[in-house]
Amino acid sequence: MIVLEGVKKSFGKKKILTGVNLKINEGSSLVIIGRSGTGKSVLIKCILALENYDEGTIHINKIENSNKNNKTFYDQFGMLFQGGALFDSIPIWENISFRLLRGNQKISRSDAKQLASEKLKLVGLNSDIIDLYPSELSGGMQKRVALARAIAGDPKVIFFDEPTTGLDPIMANVINRLIREIVVEMGVTAITITHDINSTRIIADDVAMLDSGKVQWKGEINHLDNSGNKMVDQFINGLATGPISNNY
């Protein structure tokens, strides 16, 4: 279980998070929605201790995440970065099996290559690209390779920062279903950021809406359409006017 209490984060004078409270149950799928620039990416980087936060606490299975001396902290996580963040100096297959080529979970290079091509198939890519370098792929392909890297090694908690942006609608659907499948079949805890309401409906057990630095609404997916929250209504219907601030 991941528990955030009163998390605040500013960059200089700019307040991004102003007191986020959030609980994520083990084995559930949470989708975080919110307008561009509200701090969704910053929020999950705080959870992963990639950004320092100014106030509040974040506990993962009762252990505070700022305890950086814990060498195995990241073994439990997978993360798909919004920009992919593939290592451009190594080929696709080494990117995907990066964690498995070194460290505690080390496997042989031939097994790692095998695993890379299996994960590639899951994200709808042909395994004949495994020896290429990231820069030789299209943007959407890179994103899917990054997704394959995030799920390789079967982490218990996976963060997906906008997994379907830049993908065509058919491929987006494949990825949404893949994420859902990982949660249901492998009991993974998934935290997904998306702007896409359609994706949200497929992926989510729970939905949290972030705005003005706080979680404005959190509830089960089947309450999304009758949340009683004006911000959520505005967001899911894409209305230009409403309570959501326009300052992003």
- In the complex, the residues that contact Mg ion under the rule CB under 5 A are 41, 82
Q: Rounded distance, CA 188 to CA 102, Å?
A: 23
Nearer to other proteins, 100 or 207 (CB): 100
Partner that binds at residue 79, options Mg ion, other proteins, ligand ATP, none, CB closer than 5 to 8 Å by kind = other proteins
Min separation Cβ 129 and Mg ion, Å? 26
Asked if residue 172 lies in contact with residue 196, where contact means CB atoms within 8 angstroms, the answer is yes
Question: Residue 77 pairs with which residues in a beta bridge?
Answer: 157
Q: Closer CB to ligand ATP, residue 11 or residue 87? A: 11
The residues facing 8 across adjacent strands are 18, 55
Q: Which of 169, 171, 179 is nearest to 203 (CA)?
A: 179
**Is residue 65 part of the contact set for ligand ATP (CB under 6 A)?**
no
Q: Please check whether residue 127 is in contact with residue 64, taking contact to mean a CB–CB distance below 8 angstroms.
A: no
Residue 3's beta-bridge partner residues? 23, 59
Choose which of 11, 83, 169, 222 interacts with ligand ATP (CB under 6 A): 11
Sign of CA dihedral 91, 95, 101, 102: positive
Residue number, 28 or 41, with CB nearest to ligand ATP: 41
CB of 247 to ligand ATP, least distance (A): 10
> Would you give the binding string for ligand ATP spanning residues 17-56, x where CB under 6 A is met?
-----------------x-xxxxxxx--------------
Q: Which of 238, 207, 204 is nearest to 40 (CA)?
A: 207
Closest to other proteins by CB, 25 vs 89, is 89
Among 4, 7, 16, 147, binds ligand ATP (CB under 6 A): 16
